[in-house]
Amino acid sequence: MAQQETDQQVENDGFVVDTEDCEERELAHRERGTSRPITVFGNPVLHRECKDVTEFGDELAQLIDDMFASQKTAEGVGLAANQIGVDQKVFVYDCMDDEGVRHVGHVVNPVLQELPADRRVLDESNEGCLSVPTAYAELARPDYAEVHGQDLQGNPIKVRGTGYFARCLQHETDHLYGYLYIDRLSKRDRKDALRQMEEGTPRYPVVAND
């Protein structure tokens, strides 16, 4: 396929405008993409840091399209590349914030910015993961997040979010550095989440761990 123009406008301060034309942009990605099964807990690609993306072209654009298609099939709000078995630092998202505003976009080579102590307000809410299907647990995370990275053409971008969208940004960035949300739980809660996964049946195609 021919190289696409990025669909993410950038403000003067470098933050993407990811709240406009969400339906059209998500649908365009999805129609170009092919849905792939989701890798689940235990698959080695989920438990190590992914490789930095160094080539920005048709292959990366197609990966992002496939990720949007896969995310839609699984009814997720965010998806990291290793969740479809690809060892690269890329994630996509289609997520509402706590005010009901929809955010759609992607980040390549994301880095989560450390917050100063006076801005770290923790929100303890229920969290789940497509790679730990049918399991949920309470997890405290900052209610604001800022991620710096690149778009599909390699241009620098920044994404920020509050509430549920902030949780999504932190969750997906974690994935690309080899962490699942259950790795941040107490031993007891982690064991309970894995029990939920073992007893449940995923509603979407998954890659079996042989």
Q: Which residues participate in catalysis according to the annotation?
A: 172
Amino acid at 159: V
* Run of H or E including 199: helix 187-199
What is the three-class DSSP state of 142? strand
For residue 162, CA distances in Å to 106, 153, 176 come to: 17, 26, 20
Nearest CA to 17 out of 26, 25, 27, 8 is that of: 8
Q: Which residue do the tokens 């690309």 mark? A: 176
Nearest CA to 51 out of 60, 43, 39 is that of: 60
Query: Both tokens of residue 90?
Result: 């890329």
Q: At what angle do helices 22-32 and 58-73 cross, to 10 degrees?
A: 110
Q: Name the DSSP letter for residue 182.
A: G
- Rounded Cα distance between 143 and 108, Å, is 22
* Phi and psi angles of residue 98, each rounded to the nearest 5 degrees, phi first: -70, -15
Nearest CA to 165 out of 12, 30, 15 is that of: 15
